[in-house]
Chains A and B, each alone.
Chain A
Amino acid sequence: MRHLYANRAAYLLAGLLVVATALFAWLRSEGGTLIAVDEDRVQDIEGEAWDEAAWGPLGEAVYAAECQACHATLTHIPELFAAQDGRSYLIDLMLNGYDGEMVIEGSASSVEHPRFADLDDAELAAVLNHLLVSWGNDEALPDEPDFYAPPDIEEARDRDLDPEEVAASRPSP
């Protein structure tokens, strides 16, 4: 009888592994994660204009969670931001991803960037502003820069671009 139970247990555990993996895949494909960003903090800054003290921690947290794994620093942001349509290009890239050629340090390579449309408007605005002011980037910004605000993101969501279209719209330096 022990052997019979053991056989059943083996099948049961195998089934459990597959079901758990399918559940994981479903949650993940919906963009789910187990530890969510602090909702209160998002709410607090929703209405406020850019202010490093209020926005900084949220931008930093989102950066650490979503970007840092691939980007240790992003020092070419001011250049992109200052280019024609560069400001909205950065929003489009975050919302829709990127798929196409990109010139990195002089040579062209094919690049795919994931989309982060599942983040809140405030989270996206905060992380974009974080990019503008970190690693000395603020030195390279124009005077009185037009920092991102949640409504900018909300508006850009309607554009609904393909990653290829985003790549095509990249401002050339």
Chain B
Amino acid sequence: MNRTIVGAFWLVVYLIVILSPLFIMMIRPAPAERSFWVEFSVGLGFVGLVQTAVQFALIARYKTITAPYGIDLILKYHRQIATIAIALLIAHPVILVIHNPALLSLLNPVGGSMASRAGNWALYTFILLALLSHFRQRIRLDYEVWRVTHAGLAILAILLSHVHIRLSAYYTATPWKHGVLIGISVVMIASLGYLRLIKPAFMRRRPYRVVNVAADRGDTWRLTVEARGHDGMRFKPGQFAWLKLGPSPYSVEEHPFSFSSSAQDPERLEFGIKELGDFTGAIGSLPAGTTAYLDGPHGAFSPDLEPAAGYVFYAGGVGITPFISMLRTLADRGDKRPILLFYGDKSWEETAFTDTLAGLVERLDLTIVYVLENPPEAWDDEEGFIDADVLERRLPDEGIERLHLICGPAPMLAAVEAALQERAVPLRLIRFERFDLV
């Protein structure tokens, strides 16, 4: 089905769900009216809670839901809207207290009624959740530990919120209304069961085997896996998958990597993985034959999704991997469209996939511009960073509209985008892929 239609459909469903508590509370039997600010505060509480529950569906990687937007946007939206939802939840008691300062005692987590206490604990749990996510890297919280804590705290906070609502029993004094509200939370949290139990059960039937681990330059490993007893993974060049290594598809340790192999061969998949931490650091010592599981394909960063007369690729460091897949795929298809690749890295010794790229130049209408921070002596390509000057010198003046795809570290994405805007490249022709999703 058309991506736009599917996207619009899910947007409508989403709006209906997040606004449903307001509609339901309007339906008779409704309790007697109270002042605007009390009703507003209560409304924010309901909307905030449903919005936090919906987060479980957003992160569950339902492909039909995420495909129209790209899962990267969904995850980013998850962060933004969850923060907003928690702000709404904070506003709920704050408005009540401003409206009627006599209620200040309600904010005491060990005083007040059981209802207000449950509400306070729920709120403090939500705030802790937000702070841990925000400062995860600064306090050096292990990614896997954070992930489990994150889900646990979220479930606890939603549970406490429901205790608070149950004990307050104003709008939810009508059983069916209370039922709908609880139902939304239960269905949403069940998404976690889908992601952690049902999905892995399907993955178990589609295992892969590590067939090769080869060292490339710049602490990068090329990991090749082969489908075992099934037809592999059909992906679009530029997409990525979550990779789990080891015998169990249920392990919490999984990391996203872009495919670097040609999409024309779904049974033999390659990833280019740069050593950054525990998981990526262990790739090099992985014995051949290790079992691997893939959750994918995900992502919307692909020339296949957006045909254009030609492309300009901008890669920073290991951000080259999705482009390697695109170039290999286009070469396998005998594509004739012109492609210009800007590839920035620290030095020639740290630049991965150069041999692959040299081969691809022979098979495609491909021009490569290397931009090195520390170029070797007698370097006749670009030096420094991919910036407006480099683009000024190397972007062709031509009649065709090319699509500009950028993948690399965050500062590089921002710099290239700024440089493109300086060159009056319209935003509708620019696409990003971020590796720092979380």
The chain A residues found within 8 Å of chain B, CB to CB, are 1-4, 6-7, 9-10, 13-14, 16-18, 20-22, 24-37, 64-66, 68-70, 97, 114-116, 118
Contact = CB atoms under 8 A, between A and B. Distances in A.
A17 B91 CA distance: 13
Contacts of A64: 29
A29 B33 contact: yes
Contacts of B36: 25-26, 29
B80 interface: yes
Chain B interface main SS type: helix
A29 B36 CA distance: 5
B43 interface: yes
Contact size class for B?
A: 35 or more
Contacts of B300: 2
A34 B31 contact: no
Contact of A29 (B34, B431, B432): B34
Given A2-B70, A28-B25, A28-B30, 6 more contacts: A2-B300, A6-B77, A13-B81, A17-B51, A28-B43, A114-B31
B427 A1 contact: yes
B19 A6 contact: no
A32 B175 CA distance: 20
A22 B40 contact: yes
A30 B427 CA distance: 46
B37 interface: yes
B431 A2 contact: yes
Contacts of B29: 64-66, 68-69
Contacts of A17: 18-19, 47, 51, 84, 88
B32 A116 contact: yes
Contacts of B360: none
B28 A114 contact: no
Interface of B: 15, 18-19, 22-23, 25-44, 47, 51, 69-70, 73, 76-77, 80-81, 84, 88, 173-174, 300, 427-432
17 contacts: A10-B77, A10-B80, A10-B81, A13-B81, A17-B47, A21-B44, A24-B22, A24-B39, A24-B43, A27-B26, A28-B34, A28-B43, A29-B39, A31-B32, A37-B28, A66-B32, A70-B173
B84 A10 contact: yes
A116 B32 CA distance: 6
